[in-house]
Amino acid sequence: MIDLKLLEHLETYLTENRKARFDHVLSQRTKYYTVATEDVYQLHNTSAVIRSCDVFGIQEVNIVEERNSKRIDREIAMGAQKWVDLNRYQTVNDCISDLKEKGYQIVATTPHTNDCELHEFDITKKSCFFFGRETEGLSQEVMDAADCYLKIPMVGFTESLNISVSAAIILQHVTTKLRQSTINWQLTEEDMLEKRLDWITKTIKSYDDIVDRFYSQQ
């Protein structure tokens, strides 16, 4: 439970521009869609996906590190990892189970016999978009668990895109359609308060000292 008095006190340390920025970004954030990357080898690819999630308002990113475990490339993510929540999993099955418990359908972003093209995607279902390894693609575990197979139409000689490019194209499309719909896609009031406090924590210098002083004066 968020201490609203503490939150109000902490906000006095923010500029009006920063508070307005938080308000605007939070109003566009969603957990209706999320993204999962499965054992992506190239560090810059995961970092770029996180950056795209921040740009298009996706609040949570799920990172499966069954084979490849690396730190996020801060330079490429451009600080996006500070604003987006990262859920890390050691196995893809743990990730899938957790997402399904949260009510997400599993969307495998890969050509498949029963796939649908991006413009045909049903935006009314709460979804997690899975992106696989650079050379191997998604694992059989994801393919077997998938509720939907999604592909980006291509008309050139090249038959694939870099995963970070694919993620950006898909997220831009589905989030635009989502915001044009009547679906209740925004964060809950409680989620907004939690993220506001989290972002303030990452913004204010001497945060712990300020909190200690606040409670000592109560």
The binding site comprises: 109, 152, 161
Q: At what angle do helices 4-11 and 207-216 cross, to 10 degrees?
A: 130
Torsion (CA) 128, 42, 172, 195 in degrees, nearest 10: 60
Q: Binding site for S-adenosyl-L-methionine: residue ranges? A: 109, 152, 161
Closest alpha carbon to 49 in 126, 122, 128, 123 = 128
